[in-house]
Each structure stands twice: as structure tokens, then as C-alpha cells.
Homo-oligomer: A and B are copies of this chain.
Amino acid sequence: MSKTFAGNFFEDFAIGQEIVHATPRTLTEGDLALYGGLYGSRFAMTSGETFAKGLGLERMPVDSLLVFHVVFGKSVPEISLNAVANLGYAGGVWGVPVYVGDTLTATSTVIGLKPNSNGTTGNVYVRTVGRNQHDETVLDYVRWVMVRRREPVSPDALGEATIPELPGAVPAEDLVAPWRVVGGYDTAVAGSEHLWDDYEVGERIDHVDGVTIEESDHMLATRLYQNTARVHFDQHAQARSTAGRRLIYGGHVISLARALSFNGLGNAQSVAALNGGTHANPTFAGDTIYAWTEVLERIELPGRKDVGALRVRTVAAKDHPCADFPLKGEDGRYLPFVVLDLDCTVLLPRR
């Protein structure tokens, strides 16, 4: 009877299952502009064609995070439509750069399943791969989500758990650095004089600025990514939820934090790896997002003297400026106003 797809429930997943996600998506110049308008990113390589060409790219590439959102969005209908929570990310690596005109598709493989003891939910671990029209990998990452069961089971009939070994931080040799510094790098035009060599492990940077999120913004963004999770869009239903409001797609906060990070990390031209990440608390319209970053590791890329990588923790907070670098309380839990704890690797030119 039903031609409507209600999403998969925990019972519908099996280890090794391969899922082809729907709707190939061609990235256009329009996506660049809308992404720009939504986040105000100022990194020179994804803003100016001339600057990108100066870094050896054929054209201005699509922002790493826009690629992430598009690939993520494709996986929502099959993976997380019935999710209670998006629990984490690991081992995310960006591959070949994406350009305007490229068409992205995505597939996922179920790599872990863990029934929860309440008998009503389980955790699903998937590895999702985004590819362009030449079948080249543009992004490969693991995420895990807590998904509802269609029917609750009693605690003695939970079934077996298969918890995958999660990748640690992406190692230097797996990072792809598609741009290079040839014939000079103009820090004035780039907007920051601080290069890879200038950052020290342990250094913390307050990104200072704050930006308030409106309902229209996050819905426009989330629809652009063809992400269909209902909690972001349906106020009539959300009014009956615990939150009482629409939840903002966590990726929207990631992109806001990345755009804010320009002030302090202006030469971090691209994101090369998503080592991990937690959406520590929900975000709602009206919240003002601030962010700070800690340098976790300074990574030399094999055979490269022109570009280096920084593994960084970027934390976003709501309605709380980040001069005090907020993270966790004495109980070891995230402070209630911390909304994002992201571990990623960014690329910067070297001196």
C-alpha cells in the first residue's frame, strides 16, 4: 500500500549492508553564493577564483563543508530519519576537490550495530562515501546515530552488538592537500599574516564574533543540502516534542563555527579531515553562536614543504562569548551552553 518511505528503523539495518542513497546533486555557482550568504565565509581560496588559481587549482573549489553537508544530506532518509540523536563522527577524509558542475552521489555501509538496553533504540554505525561523476571519492567518513526501533523488545531479546573499531585522528599520510603554494602567497589579500609555522600546540584562539541564527537561515541551509530530517522543519510537530521547537541541523553550527574561525585562522584554506565531533547540546533559532579553537597538533605533510596541517579542536557555544574558552564542567560534562566540540584537520600554507 504505502508508497511513502518512513525511514529505516533499527531492525532494518544489518552489518555489511550497502545503501545507495538517492538524488544525485550537481553543485552550481548558486550553491556557492547561497553558502556564502548563509555563513559569510571569507577564506580566500573558496571566495576568489584568482586566489584559487594562484594555489594551483584549476578553478575555485567548493567549500569542504558544503561537500560534507551535501553528502551527509543524502544519507539522512535511509540512515537517520528515525534517529533520536546524532552521536559522533570519525575518520572523515576529503578526497579530490569538488568544482562547480560536479555531481555528487553517496553510498553508506553499515559497520556497527549496538542495541541499547532500553529495548527501544539502538546505535547504528555507518561509513558514508561521497563520489563525483567520475566515481572519485570526494569524502569518506564514519558517523553513528541512535535510531528508534520499530517495535520495542524486552531487555533479554536485544540481540548481539557489533561495535566497530573507530578510526582515530586521520594520519598525515591519508590527508589530501589538493592545493599548493607556488610563486608566493599574499597574506594581505588572504586576510591573515599567520601561517602554519606560527601556530603552537596548545594555543587557544577566541574567534570573538557572534552570529545569531534565525529559523529561515537554518531551514534554507538544511533544505539546500536536501537533508530531510523532520525535526528541523516541522514546527507543528516539534511543538509537541520536549524541545518544543525546531532543532537546528548540527552541520549548520559546524559551518557557522568554521566561518567565525576566519578571525584567527584566516589561512586555514580548507578542511582536510573530520577526526571526530560531538553536538554537545541542541541549538535553536535565536541562539547566538560564538567559537574558539585550540591547536591540538601540528602535522607535516609527507613530501610537502609548502602546506602544513593543523589538527584543531573548534568549540562553539551559544549566547556565551568564548574569551574564557568554555568546554566542560567539573563533572566532566559539556557545559550546557557548549553546542559543538569538533576535531578536524585544516590546511595552511607554510613559511
Shortest Cβ gap from A100 to chain B (Å): 8
In the complex, which residues of chain B have a beta carbon less than 8 angstroms from the beta carbon of A101? 49
Q: Is A25 an interface residue (CB 8 A)?
A: yes
In the bound assembly, the distance between CA atoms of A321 and B210 in angstroms comes to 35
Contact in complex: A288, B235 (CB < 8 Å): yes
CA–CA, A127 and B20, complex, Å: 44
Copies of the polypeptide in the assembly: 3
Q: Which single member of B207, B212, B216, B236 contacts A319 (CB below 8 Å)?
A: B236
Within 8 Å by CB of A23, from B47, B216, B226, B234, lies: B47
A22 in the interface, Cβ–Cβ < 8 Å?
A: yes
Nearest B residue (CB) for A318:
B236
Within 8 A of B (CB), among A1-31: 2-6, 20, 22-26, 28-31
Given contacts A30-B32, A49-B101, contact A210 B189 (CB under 8 A): no
CA–CA, A22 and B188, complex, Å: 6
Total interface residues on A, CB under 8 Å, equals: 84
Rounded to whole angstroms, the CA-CA distance of A217 and B190 in the bound complex is 27
In the bound complex, CA of A263 to CA of B286 (Å) = 30
Within 8 Å by CB of A22, from B190, B211, B219, lies B190
Asked if A38 CB lies within 8 Å of chain B CBs, one says: yes
Q: Which residues of B contact A222 (CB under 8 A)?
A: 40
What separation, in Å, do the CA atoms of A48 and B248 have in the docked complex? 26
Task: Give the distance in Å from the alpha carbon of A211 to the alpha carbon of B232 in the complex.
Answer: 9
Q: Does A36 contact B (CB under 8 A)?
A: yes
The DSSP consensus for interface residues of chain A is mixed
Of residues 168 through 188 on chain A, the ones whose CB sits less than 8 Å from some CB of chain B are 188
Are A22's CB and B209's CB within 8 A?
no
Contact A209 to B188, CB < 8 A, known contacts A23-B48, A25-B47: no
Q: Give A236 to B44 CA distance when docked, in angstroms.
A: 28
CA distance A206 to B230 in the complex (A): 15
Contact of A209 among B189, B228, B246, B265 (CB under 8 A): B228
A169 and B182 alpha carbons, distance in the complex (Å): 45
Residues in B with CB closer than 8 Å to A60 are 26
CA of A234 to CA of B322, assembled, Å: 13
Are the C-beta atoms of A212 and B191 separated by less than 8 Å?
A: no
Q: Which residues of B contact A33 (CB under 8 A)?
A: 28-31, 33-34, 224
Closest to A259 in B: B223
Q: Please state if A3 and B48 are interface contacts (CB–CB under 8 Å).
A: no
Chain A residues in contact with chain B, CB under 8 A?
Answer: 2-6, 20, 22-26, 28-34, 36-40, 42-44, 47-51, 60, 77, 100-101, 103, 105, 133, 188-192, 194, 198-199, 203, 205-212, 214-217, 219-224, 226-228, 230, 233-237, 246, 263-266, 286, 288, 290, 319, 321
